[in-house]
Amino acid sequence: MTDLASPRTTRDHGPRRPRRIAHFDLDSFFVAVERLRNPDLVGKPVLVGHPGGRGVVATASYEARVFGCHSAQPMSQALRLCPQAIVVPPSQGVYGEYSEQFHAVLNETSPVVESVGLDEAYVDLTGIGDPTTGARDAAAEVRRRVRGELGLPVSVCIAGSKTTAKVGSDQAKPDGLLEIPVGGDAAFLAPLAIRLLPLVGPKFGEALAKVGVRTIGDATRLDARWLARQYGKAGEALADRARGIDPSVVVAGGRARVQISRENTFMEDLTDLEEMRKVIRRHSDRVGADLRRQGKRARTISLKVRWPDFTTFARSVTPGRPVQATADIAQAAQELLDEVFRTEGRHPVRLIGVAVTNLVDDEMQLTLDDLGGASGGPPGGAAAPRVLRNEQLDRTIDELRSRFGDGSVSRGL
């Protein structure tokens, strides 16, 4: 039986209290910040994002959402739906400042805060204040402070699990507070659409609809063993999550970063292969620098390519050992691009992205070749293997950039 009790004892060391997990989410964060900077935007349909044919909506105001606008939507499509919308380019750097202040308020409320983005976080409120009203009082105080000190609306749901709290905070919008009674997670979730569960994506949702599952409650009526056989780990998780059972804990300080990536959409489709390779090398340069800065290596390198019709392909490769060098990342990504063209045909390219995943600590097992065993030379010498020469070059470039600025040294493209 899944233990729903909090992993932490209460602050008075008495009996464990029921878990009270809150999910805080700043409403239309980018739009809300832009309205603080320009009050004339209040009450009007606003789209934050870059204008132009290749622009994408970062955030849509509620006034724009009623017309069908939403985040991650092509800006051109959003403006066709809501031609009167005001397009505001993102204010780089500003959002991060507000996010830091928001998270500071959360960390003053509880020692257990898990950030999951600029504008949202899970907070463990178990054992805070009065046994009956403490969690709600703490959440209400956060909302009061965020509104008063930052001028931003924030919605929150308090529940017995992270899954229910996440679903509930969406139901609390805009600018609301919702608390699910202890033991009431399943009843709250039951009438909601199955697609509202975070683990149910479009394809999984379509598959469930074919067997009559349209609400979360419908899923609870299916045999858990059948779900596991039919859908594997996703089905096994669904059997629990649909019942409000989610033993995952709030991780103080947030989760370790599991991916580092760079991608961009081009104003005009790329058709020249060498230009595509230059983009891959630039992305790899930035991804590699981030890896080294964090003291990490990557086991997997991935490439994302998108055609003008939005057809998207993702390819990945796992080298023999974790990589960190920019050149190694770039070479792998370029080979993946060649593979896409070989299997899918050559097309103009709308977007290219490079990512590294399965990150591990910066520890590498050297081989005899690395130690000069094959040639008798010392490591790092003229005959040193390519992997070590690449990393020595990266370290030199990183040091120069840290002393003289990112633009002080450029790699040959």
Q: Is the peptide bond before 174 cis (omega within 30 degrees of 0)?
A: yes
At residue 11, the pLDDT reads 42
- Superfamily (CATH) of domain 259-408: DNA polymerase, Y-family, little finger domain (3.30.1490.100)
Asked if 34 is an active-site residue, the reply is no
What is the reported pTM?
0.65
CA gap 372, 393 in Å, rounded: 18
At residue 155, the pLDDT reads 97
394 secondary structure, DSSP code = H
CA gap 409, 413 in Å, rounded: 12
Catalytic residue among 114, 120, 179, 391: 120
At residue 378, the pLDDT reads 40
Q: Are 220 and 243 in contact (CB under 8 A)?
A: yes
At residue 199, the pLDDT reads 87
The three-class DSSP label of residue 208 is: helix
Q: What is the chain's pLDDT, residue by residue, as a tens digit (413 residues)?
A: 333 333 443 344 455 789 999 999 999 999 999 999 999 999 999 999 988 767 889 899 999 999 999 988 889 999 999 999 999 998 877 888 899 899 999 999 999 999 888 899 999 999 998 989 999 999 999 999 999 999 999 999 999 999 999 999 999 999 999 999 999 999 999 999 999 998 898 889 999 999 999 999 999 999 999 999 998 888 999 999 999 999 888 988 765 556 788 888 887 889 999 999 999 999 999 899 888 888 888 889 999 999 988 888 889 998 888 888 899 999 999 999 999 999 889 999 999 999 998 888 765 544 444 444 444 444 444 434 554 566 666 666 666 555 555 554 555 55
At residue 363, the pLDDT reads 56
